[in-house]
């Protein structure tokens, strides 16, 4: 499968289907299971958070909390929060918190991205 058509196998109550990686807003770990969320809903996936962050780093996947990886290309707004955290509003209206452990790394990634655009 080419990198342009990267997909994850997702499982819902209706069965299995492939989810385009570029459609994923974030990946979250809940009770030792991993879920990917798109604007169409959530899918249980077999990839771990670490695997998702590493494998799809070039597609904007970024570890933003101990139990979450966000697709930075799906973030519409950033807002600084207390204790060096960042609130991110996604294009689907959902708000997530980037923990202070990962906030500086996110700032660095965004700064490098701005440098690459020039």
* C-alpha to C-alpha distance for 75 and 83, rounded to whole angstroms: 21
Q: Whole-prediction pTM value?
A: 0.88
- pLDDT at residue 118, rounded to an integer: 43
User: Cα separation of 90 and 94, whole Å?
Assistant: 5
Average pLDDT of the chain is 90
What are the start-end ranges of the E strands in 39-84? 41-45, 61-65, 68-71, 75-80
pLDDT in tens, 52-104: 999 999 999 999 999 999 999 999 999 999 999 999 999 999 999 999 999 99
Residue 114's pLDDT is 58
- CATH no., domain 3-117: 2.40.50.1020
pLDDT band at 111 (very low <50, low <70, confident <90, very high): confident
Q: How far is CA 103 from the centre of its chain?
A: 14
CA 27, CA 79: separation in Å to the nearest integer?
Answer: 21
């Amino acid at each position: 499968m080419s990198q342009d058509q990267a997909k994850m196998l997702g499982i819902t109550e209706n069965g299995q289907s492939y989810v385009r990686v570029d459609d994923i807003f974030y990946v979250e770990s809940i009770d030792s299971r991993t879920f990917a969320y798109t604007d169409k809903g959530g899918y249980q996936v077999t990839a771990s958070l670490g695997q998702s962050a590493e494998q799809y780093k070039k597609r904007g996947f970024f570890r933003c909390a101990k139990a979450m990886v966000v697709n930075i290309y799906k973030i519409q707004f950033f807002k600084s929060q207390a204790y060096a955290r960042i609130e991110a509003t996604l294009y689907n209206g959902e708000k997530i918190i980037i923990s202070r452990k990962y906030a500086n790394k996110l700032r660095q990634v965004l700064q490098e991205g701005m440098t690459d655009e020039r």
